[in-house]
Structure 1
Amino acid sequence: SGGDCCATNTNLSQGTFYEGAVTAGYPSDATDNAVQANIVAAGYGGGGGSTGGGSTGALHAVGAGKCLDDPNSTTTLGTQQQIYTCNGAANQTWTHNSSNELTLSVGGSTLCLDANGKGTTAGTKVIVYSCNGQTNQQWNLNSNGTVTGVQSGLCLDVTGASTANGALVELWTCNGGSNQQWTLG
């Protein structure tokens, strides 16, 4: 944080803070911490870039400590997605774009996270499919840490709250469980 760059418990001169940018001096620790909290709440974090008006990076399953993973970097349409130990590979790098799609680039293809069969019921498989702009491929990254399907309103969910590699991902009624908490980046 800007105010504590040089000595413990020492703030340099208070600066001017305007619309998320320091225009002069250094922000206070309180200002810096508030801005960082807002950045995290908005779904942005370290390690994630930005493309197409959105964020790019691993989609972390908070409760499991793993990442949303396209099994074996498959380009087979209809493959149900899983969680797996985070490894920084392309099959775990998702982009939330300006169309609210979560896309993945693997094997020369760009695929979208998709509610299988345009499903709107708890237990619907979450798969990869060719991007088509339909609402079953649009996802809200919410400030409470959930990812919800635009079409269904249901939460992206690790089945059975599993923490194991290979645990499948589905849509489920939002319930506040840690298996429905996600961070991108």
Structure 2
Amino acid sequence: MLRGVASHRCLDVTGASTANNSPTEIWDCNAGGNQSWTLNSSKQLVVYGAKCLDASGGGTTAGTAVVIYDCNGGADQQWNLNSDGTVTNVKSGLCLDVTGAATANGTPVELWNCTGGGNQKWARQ
């Protein structure tokens, strides 16, 4: 699981959906399958065994939605888990960000310019 440092909530696939392009959000950590992320040797964050955390549409701009999609090896599905707690997308260099620095359940996750804020820091658990 990836837990947001500011929110203390986990990276979650909305509604436990397994469909391509399902959005991600933060939600109370509950060890559900939709919160069980594994970093593989290809730098992919995998959920449900075959879906990858993905920059929607291969987007590289701030505000790009972060979704799940069939793992395909693209750079938009590769992530660096950095020593400062940030998670950056290999293709864009942007940070995995909780929108608006909000902390409520259901807040969307997006790509954003790295600011060092707590809404961009994640802890593995």
CA distance in 2, matches of 1:76, 1:98: 24
In structure 2, the partner of 1:80 is 23
Residue 162 (str. 1) matches residue 105 (str. 2)? no
**Normalization by structure 1: what TM-score?**
0.66
1:71 aligns with 2:14: yes
Q: Which amino acid aligns with 1:60?
A: R
- Structure 2 counterpart of 1:147, which letter? V
SS of match in other structure, 1:76: coil
Q: Mind listing any 5+ residue stretches in structure 2 that lack a counterpart?
A: none
User: Partners of 1:168 and 1:140 in 2: how far apart?
Assistant: 20
For 1:154, the aligned partner's letter is: L
Secondary structure of 1:81's counterpart equals strand
For 1:157, the aligned partner's letter is D
How big is the shift at 1:179? 0.1
Alignment of 1:90-129 (within 5 A): 90-105=33-48, 110-129=50-69
1:60 aligned onto 2:3: yes
Distance 1:143 1:131 in 2: 25
Distance 1:162 1:79 in 2: 20
Which range moved further: 65-74 or 135-144? Answer: 65-74
Secondary structure, aligned partner of 2:100: helix
Shift of 1:116: 0.5
Q: Which has the higher strand share?
A: 2
| SS at 2:116 equivalent | coil
Q: 1:172 aligns with which of 104, 112, 121?
A: 112
Determine what percentage of the aligned residue pairs are the same residue: 55
User: So what's the TM-score if we normalise by structure 2?
Assistant: 0.98
**How many aligned residue pairs are there?**
125
Q: Which has the larger radius of gyration?
A: 1
Q: Tell me, in whole angstroms, the C-alpha distance in 1 between the residues paired with 2:62 and 2:22.
A: 18
Question: What's the Cα RMSD here?
Answer: 0.8
Secondary structure of 1:60's match?
A: strand
2: CA distance, partners of 1:132 / 1:110: 9
